[in-house]
Amino acid sequence: MSSEGQLNITKSVIIRNNSIYVDGNIIYEYFKNDNFLNDSYESLDNNYPKFYKMDVLGKLGMLATHLLLKDSDIENHLPSDVGIVLSNSNSSLDADIRYFDSVKSFPSPALFVYTLPNIVTGEISIRYKLKGENAFFISQQFDADWLHFYISHLFQNNKINACIGGWIESIDSDHDVCLFLTERKERKNGINFTPENLNNIYGLGVDVSNIKH
């Protein structure tokens, strides 16, 4: 029996246009222009001092994952059973540019360590003590078909029982994040894990309970 039919998207988080949505419902809006990431973190989480040292991708990943796993029972999964599969189009370009700028005066080790896109998967793993399969893919745009294929493959091969997946992009302080939690079991308001539903979540940030199963 295919495992795919048993997979459900049990929660989603969108960060876009200085606003944050959980399961399609707006939970935070920011009307200033100076420090969306730090201010939203201080309003919504504020329990991880290392946050301030991270690059933009790391901060977005921390913020979105905190909201994704909040009130979930992710700790019931073995650490090795929770995967992380992320993607974006600009890789670590934002951190690369900042590091390049620092080289002109004095190269910053703290910036250098973020000059790879998959560092954010490591940061999430460290904070939430996750040890499952992880990957970071580069694609021109949010690729629901590929994310669905790869994550399904991990489930079908019994590599994972839950997965944090999605898209984390930021360039010139323009953030575009769509994270979703995929699990084997059904949850209240959960929807089937399909490319169509991933596109619906990414495109609209809608309440998953409003999407037809």
Partner 1 sequence: MDKQELMQRLKEQIIKQLKLEGTKPESIGDHDPLFVEGLGLDSIDALELIVLLQQEYKIKLNNAEQGQEVFRSVSTMADFIMERQAKQV
- Rounded to whole angstroms, how far apart are CA atoms 18 and 29? 6
Minimum CB separation of residue 61 from partner 1 in Å reads 17
CB of 80 to partner 1, least distance (A): 24
Among 33, 106, 172, 212, binds partner 1 (CB under 8 A): 106
Task: Find out whether 123 and 54 touch, Cβ atoms under 8 Å.
Answer: yes
Residues 50-89 touching partner 1, rule: CB under 8 A, are 52-53
From residue 4 to residue 43, the character string flagging contacts with partner 1 as x (rule: CB under 8 A) and all else as - is: ----------------------------------x-----
Q: Which is nearer to partner 1, 79 or 107 (CB)?
A: 107
Nearer to partner 1, 48 or 137 (CB): 48
Within the chain, strands assigned E span 8-16, 19-22, 25-29, 82-88, 134-138, 162-171, 174-183, 191-192
Q: Are 162 and 182 in contact (CB under 8 A)?
A: yes
DSSP bridge pairs for 137:
87
**Smallest separation (angstroms) from partner 1 to the CB of 77:** 27
Question: Applying CB under 8 A, does 116 fall inside the site for partner 1?
Answer: no
**Gap between the Cα atoms of 118 and 4, Å rounded:** 26
Give the single-character DSSP code of 18: T
Q: Residue 49 CB, nearest distance to partner 1 (Å)?
A: 7
Chain residues binding partner 1 by CB under 8 A are: 38, 49, 52-53, 106-110, 113
